[in-house]
Structure 1
Amino acid sequence: MSPFIVTMYKVRQAFYAAVVRSLLRTKSVLQTILNVWLSPTVIKGEDVHRNGAAFGQGKMYAAFLEDVEKEFRRSKKTSELVHLSDGLRAQIGASLLDNPWNMLPSYNHQLPHGDEQGIYLALDVGGSTFRVALIQLFGRKSEGMERTILKMDSFKVTNDVRTLKGVLFFDWMAERIGETLSGQSEGHDTSATPLSMGMSWSFPIEQTSLRSGLLQGMGKGFEAAHGLVGHDLGDLIQDACSRKGLRVQLDAIVNDSAATLLSKAYLDQTTRFALILGTGVNAAVHLPVHMFAPGKFGTRPASWHESATHVIVNTELSMFGGGILPYTRWDKQLLAVHPRPEFQPLEHFVSGGYLGEIVRLILIEGIQAAGLLGGVVPPSLEKPYSLETETLSYIESDPTPTLSSALEIFSSRHPTALPPTQADMRAIRLTASHVAYRASGVLAAGTHALWELRNTGENISARASSHTLVAYNGSVLENYPGFRAACQKQIDDLVLSSGGGQGIVELMYAEESSLLGAAVAVACIDGSKAFGL
C-alpha cells in the first residue's frame, strides 16, 4: 500500500474519531463537522500519523495551553504572594490564641548550644520504615565531625507489622532495637546507667511532657493503637524495652518537623525554622512563649513555664490558607470530590500527594477539549491520583531536546494506543512546571509569613533581621527539579518586599534529620541521663 493511501486512511480515521468525540460534547452535527474540519490539525493534515512535532500546533491546542498559563499567572506575581503571605500570617496569628489543631507548642523549649556531646540511641518511626541508630555527638566546634552514626539499621514496616495489635507492635519495635544494640557495648556501659533514647514519631499524639504523650489512632493501616488509645506512648515503648531486657531510657519524643529544626540547629545556631515537603507538608518554628494564649499550653508543670522563654512549635502548616489560596478550576475539581476539602487547604496546593493529581485533571481537560495525546485518554489516567508527582519529576528533569527519556517513562506508566508526540510531552512538561512553580510560591509565602510572625514576636524589624536558616527535607524539596531554587528565589523576593536583604532567609538541607534531631532533643535536656564521653 502506498504511503499516500496510508496517510489518507489515517486522515479519515482521525476525522471520524474527532467527529465522535465532538458529538459527545455538542448538540449540532453541523457544528461538529465545522469544528473538526476547521481544526488546523485536520485541515492541514499535520502529523496525522503522530510521528512528528507538528501535531497539536493548531488553535485549540495553543489556546488551551495559553489558558493554563493564564490560570497560573496570578500565582507567579510577587504582589500576589505578598497578599497571600499577609493572609496566612493573619490566620496563623489567630491560631496562636485559640485553635486546638495547629500552632501547637511542643515541650521542646531548648535549642542546642552546639557543645552537646555524648552517645544516644535515636528512633525514627515512619509509615514504611522503622530506623534505629546509635549516634555520637562531638559538638559544633568539631567542624566536619560534629556527629557520627556508629550503627544504623532500617527495618521495613510490612503489612504484617502494621496489623500487629496493641503491645505486639511495641514488642516488635523493642526486638529491632535489641538487634541494633547487639554487640554495641564499646564506648558505654549500660550495666551502670541506661542508654538515653530519643524518638521521632510520625503519627498523632497528645504530648503531655517531653518524653510522653497520649497515643491516638495511627491510620495508614496500623493497629498498634488497638485498645491503647489514650495510653502513654513513652510508657508503652519503655515497658516493651524492659520486657526485652534492654537497658535504655526514653527521654524525648519529637515530631518530624521539630526533629528537622533541632538537627540543623545543632550544626548552625541561626536555624529557627524547618520545612517538610514530601507526600505531605509541615513546618516548625521557634517562637517566644509570650505570643501564645495561656490555654494553648494546656496543663504543664510550673518548672516548664519557669524555664521556657521560647518553644518549638508544630505549625501544622497544611491546615492554613482556606479561602485565600490562588484556586484554579482544576483545584476546585479536586476539592469537589475530596472527602475533607477544608481540612488541609495548603497541602492540596504544594504536597507531592496532590501535584500529580492537579496535572492529571488539567491533562484530562486538554485531551478532551484540545486534542492532547490524540484526543484519547490513557486508561490509567482515568483513575484519580494515578499520575504520580515522581513521574512529573522525571519529565521535568529530562535534558534531551526530544524529551525521549520523558516519553519513555510516561508511555511505560500510562500506555495508550497513540503514543505521545514531542509536542504532547512538551505540553505535559509545561503544565507540570506551572503547577510545581505555583507550589514553590505558596510554600515561599508560608515561610515568609512565619518569618514575619517571628520577627513581630521578637520585636525585630525586617531591615534589622539577621541571617536565618530554614532546615528542610522531604522528597519534593530534595528531588523535584528546580523546586528548591524556585522556592528560594520567591522567598528572597518576599523578604526584599518586606525591607529585608537578599539571602537573609536561606533554605538548607537537613541530612538524616529525624534520627539526628531525636538524639539532639535528648542532648538538650538539662540533667540528661545520656552518656558523656
Structure 2
Amino acid sequence: MSSRRGSSTVLLPSGQTLTTFTKHSQDEEGLPHATKKTMADHLRKYEALFNLTPQRMRMVVEAFKESLELGLSKPNQVVPMIPTYVFGWPSSKEKGNYLAVDLGGTNLRVCLVTLEGEGKFQITQAKYRLTEEQKQDEGQKLFDFCGECLKAFVDTHRAEGHIGKDEVLPLGFTFSYPCAQERIDHGVLIRWTKGFGAPNTEGHDVVAMFRESLAKMSVPAEVVALTCDTTGTLIASHYVNPKTRIACIFGTGCNAAYMEHVRDIPKIAQLGIDPDMEMAINCEWGAFDSFEHENLPRTKYDQIIDETSNKPGEQAFEKLISGRYLGEILRLIICELIDEGVLFLGQNTYKLEIPYCFDTAFLSLMEMDPTDELLMIIGIFNHFFAVETTLAERQFFRALAKLVARRAARLSACGIAAIVSKMGYLDEGCSVGADGSLYNKYPNFAERIHEGLHDIFGEKGKNIVTYHAEDGSGIGSAIVAAMTKDRKTANIYPNL
C-alpha cells in the first residue's frame, strides 16, 4: 500500500510525546472504512441520547432540590447532606503553622501551610502516588502509608528549620469520601468512591484509624479537623473572594459544599446549636438518583458502567459527569459500533476492548485538535490502540466526545442550580468556586456550565459565576484546622 505522510508531534497530559501522521487518500485504499454519511447517521442517534433540553434540565433541578432537602431533614439519605461542624466563614485573622493531608483519588498530598492573616499564606507540599493495589489493600495499611509519608515530610522540614524541634502541629485531614460526622475530628466512612475499595474501612472512624498510624510512626501532629476537599475549597475560596457561596469539585469524582443555617438542618436539632449559626454542608451529591433512577438521563452505556463498577447501584450522578467515567462512556460507544461492523473492519481492535483504557484526557485532546485533518486523533488511535482512522471517523469521534462532555457539564449546572434555587441566590447572584481536572483542563467545560445555568434560569443565570477555586485540600484544610482550634480555644461548642 503506497503512502505519503506529513508528521506532527503531540504532547500528552502525562508528559509523553507521540508523533502523529496525516494520511493521504491512497493510504485508505484496501481498508474498509465507515463513510461520512454512515457516521452522520450514527451521530444523530447519539445526539438524541446525550442532548439535554432546558426543560429536562429544570426537571432534574427540581428533583435535585428535593433530594437536598430530604438529606438535611433525615439521616442516611441518598444524598446525605453531611454536617461538617465547620461553623461560619473564616475571619482572615487565622495565623500559624498547620499541616494538611489530602487522601485524594490519585495522590496523597502533604502540605505545610503558614497562615499569615489578611488572606495571606505560604504553602509547601509533596505528593505521593497511590497505586491501584493500595486503593484495594487493607484499610489500616492505607493509613499507615499516609503516616509514613507525613513523617518523612515533617522530618525533612524539621531538619530544614521550618518546623520546631518539639513542635506538634495541628493537622487538617482532607478525606474526600462520604463520612458521617458527629463532630469535626471524627468521621465514619459511609462508602468508598473514586475506585477505592480498601476493606475494613467502611463503617469505621477514619480519624481514629489515621491517629493509630500517626502514633505508630511517632508523627508530631494532632488531627483537629476532618474535612473533604469540597468543604476546604468552599472555605479557601471565600477566604480570598467573599462573594463565594458554593464550592464544587469536577474531577475524578464530583461534589459540592455550601453554607447552611443550622435552623434549616432538622436532623441535628437535638444538638442544641444556635439556629442562627451557619454550618458548611458537604452534599456528597455524586449519589443523587442512585436508587430511584427516575431523574437522570441514563443511557445503556451509563447502565453498563454502573453494573460493572466496584460499587454498582451507587454514585449515579458521579458516573454521568466525573472524569473517571467520560472516557469509558465513549469507549463503550466505539466498541458497540465495532461489534455492529461499523468501525475498524479488518483491523485488530483488542486494545480498545480493555475497560477504562480510553482516558478522559483523550476526549479533551480530541476536542482541542486544531488541525484540519485532526492529527491529534490520528495519534491517539494509532499510538495507543494501533488502529487506522479516516477523516470522517475522526470527525465523528470528536463530535461524540463533545456530546459526552457537554452532557456532563450541563448536568453539573443542574447540581449548582439546585443549591442556588434552594438558597435564593439567583437575584443577588453568587460566585461558585470550582476545582478539579474537568473544570480546570477540559476545553469549554466552564463555558458549558454557564450555558446550562442560562438555559435553566434564563438571563438571571448570568448572575451565577463559576471561577477557578482556591486550593481546598491544602490551604482550605489548614484554614479549617485554624478555625476549629480558635473556636475550641474560645469554648464555642468545644465538643463538636
Q: Scaled by the length of structure 1, what TM-score is found?
A: 0.76
The answer to whether the aligner puts 1:306 opposite 2:256 as a matched pair is no
3-state DSSP class of the match of 1:108? strand
1:61/1:372 contact within 8 Å kept: no
The amino acid across from 2:181 in the alignment is Q
3-state DSSP class of the match of 2:187? strand
Mapping of residues 327-342 of structure 1, within 5 Å? 327-332=298-303, 334-335=305-306, 342=313
Structure 1: segments with no counterpart, 5+ residues: 4-46
Query: Hey, what's the Cα distance between the residues in 1 that align with 2:252 and 2:368?
Result: 19
The amino acid across from 1:363 in the alignment is I
3-state DSSP class of the match of 1:251? strand
Change (3 A) 1:244 1:437: closer
1:56/1:62 contact within 8 Å kept: no
1:469/1:508 contact within 8 Å kept: yes
3-state DSSP class of the match of 1:86? helix
Superposition RMSD on alpha carbons, in Å? Answer: 3.5
Show the counterpart of 1:118. Answer: 96
Mapping of residues 81-92 of structure 1, within 5 Å? 81-92=57-68
Q: Which of 326, 331, 335 is 1:364 aligned to? A: 335
The amino acid across from 2:320 in the alignment is F
1:283/1:315 contact within 8 Å kept: yes
The answer to whether the aligner puts 1:257 opposite 2:230 as a matched pair is yes
Query: Hey, what's the Cα distance between the residues in 2 that align with 1:264 and 1:387?
Result: 33
Show the counterpart of 2:353. Answer: 382
Show the counterpart of 1:448. Answer: 417
The amino acid across from 1:176 in the alignment is C
Change (3 A) 1:125 1:338: closer
Show the counterpart of 2:185. Answer: 211
Show the counterpart of 2:287. Answer: 319
Q: Which of 468, 471, 474 is 1:512 aligned to? A: 471
3-state DSSP class of the match of 2:274? helix
CA positional deviation for 1:113: 2.1
Query: Hey, what's the Cα distance between the residues in 1 that align with 2:95 and 2:325?
Result: 41
Show the counterpart of 1:50. Answer: 28
Provide the aligned length of Structure 1 versus Structure 2. 461
The answer to whether the aligner puts 1:430 opposite 2:399 as a matched pair is yes
2:31/2:345 contact within 8 Å kept: no
Change (3 A) 1:186 1:333: closer
The answer to whether the aligner puts 1:106 opposite 2:84 as a matched pair is yes
3-state DSSP class of the match of 2:28? coil
Mapping of residues 377-526 of structure 1, within 5 Å? 378-416=349-387, 419-455=388-424, 462-463=426-427, 465-466=428-429, 468-496=430-458, 500=460, 502=462, 504-525=463-484
CA positional deviation for 1:233: 3.7
Change (3 A) 1:376 1:308: farther
CA positional deviation for 1:274: 1.5
* CA offsets 1:294-340 (integer angstroms, 9 cap, x no match): 3xx3874x4xx138722211212111143122234544555565675
Change (3 A) 1:160 1:312: same
1:92/1:320 contact within 8 Å kept: no
3-state DSSP class of the match of 2:182? strand
The answer to whether the aligner puts 1:78 opposite 2:37 as a matched pair is no
CA positional deviation for 1:505: 1.5
Mapping of residues 180-219 of structure 1, within 5 Å? 180-182=153-155, 183-184=157-158, 186=161, 189=164, 191=166, 194-214=168-188
The answer to whether the aligner puts 1:93 opposite 2:82 as a matched pair is no
The answer to whether the aligner puts 1:62 opposite 2:40 as a matched pair is yes
3-state DSSP class of the match of 2:373? coil
1:61/1:370 contact within 8 Å kept: no
The amino acid across from 2:252 in the alignment is T
The amino acid across from 1:429 in the alignment is R
Which stretch of the first structure deviates more once superposed, 482-491 or 441-450? 482-491
Change (3 A) 1:308 1:178: farther
Task: Name the larger-Rg structure.
Answer: 1
* CA offsets 1:485-528 (integer angstroms, 9 cap, x no match): 2112222443336xx362x2221222432111110101222636
CA positional deviation for 1:392: 1.5
Change (3 A) 1:298 1:127: farther
Q: Which of 252, 257, 260 is 1:279 aligned to? A: 252
Query: Hey, what's the Cα distance between the residues in 1 that align with 2:92 and 2:331?
Result: 46
Which stretch of the first structure deviates more once superposed, 257-266 or 370-379? 370-379
Change (3 A) 1:168 1:216: same
CA positional deviation for 1:388: 2.1
The amino acid across from 2:243 in the alignment is T
Change (3 A) 1:375 1:99: farther
CA positional deviation for 1:481: 1.6
Q: Which of 315, 319, 328 is 1:348 aligned to? A: 319
The answer to whether the aligner puts 1:138 opposite 2:107 as a matched pair is no
Query: Hey, what's the Cα distance between the residues in 2 that align with 1:169 and 1:348?
Result: 25
CA positional deviation for 1:420: 0.6
Q: Which of 231, 238, 242 is 1:269 aligned to? A: 242
3-state DSSP class of the match of 2:101? strand
CA positional deviation for 1:59: 4.2
Query: Hey, what's the Cα distance between the residues in 1 that align with 2:317 and 2:139?
Result: 34
1:261/1:517 contact within 8 Å kept: yes
Question: Identity over the aligned pairs, expressed in percent?
Answer: 26
The amino acid across from 1:451 in the alignment is V
* CA offsets 1:323-370 (integer angstroms, 9 cap, x no match): 122234544555565675542221222112221222223223434547
Which stretch of the first structure deviates more once superposed, 193-202 or 446-455? 193-202
The amino acid across from 2:247 in the alignment is A
CA positional deviation for 1:373: 3.3
The amino acid across from 2:171 in the alignment is M
Query: Hey, what's the Cα distance between the residues in 1 that align with 2:122 and 2:296?
Result: 42
Q: Which has more strand, going by share of residues?
A: 2
CA positional deviation for 1:268: 1.3
Query: Hey, what's the Cα distance between the residues in 2 that align with 1:187 and 1:308?
Result: 40
CA positional deviation for 1:266: 1.5
Structure 2: segments with no counterpart, 5+ residues: 3-24, 490-496
Change (3 A) 1:177 1:332: closer
2:192/2:202 contact within 8 Å kept: no
1:278/1:352 contact within 8 Å kept: yes
The amino acid across from 2:227 in the alignment is V
Query: Hey, what's the Cα distance between the residues in 1 that align with 2:263 and 2:326?
Result: 37
Query: Hey, what's the Cα distance between the residues in 2 that align with 1:339 and 1:154?
Result: 26
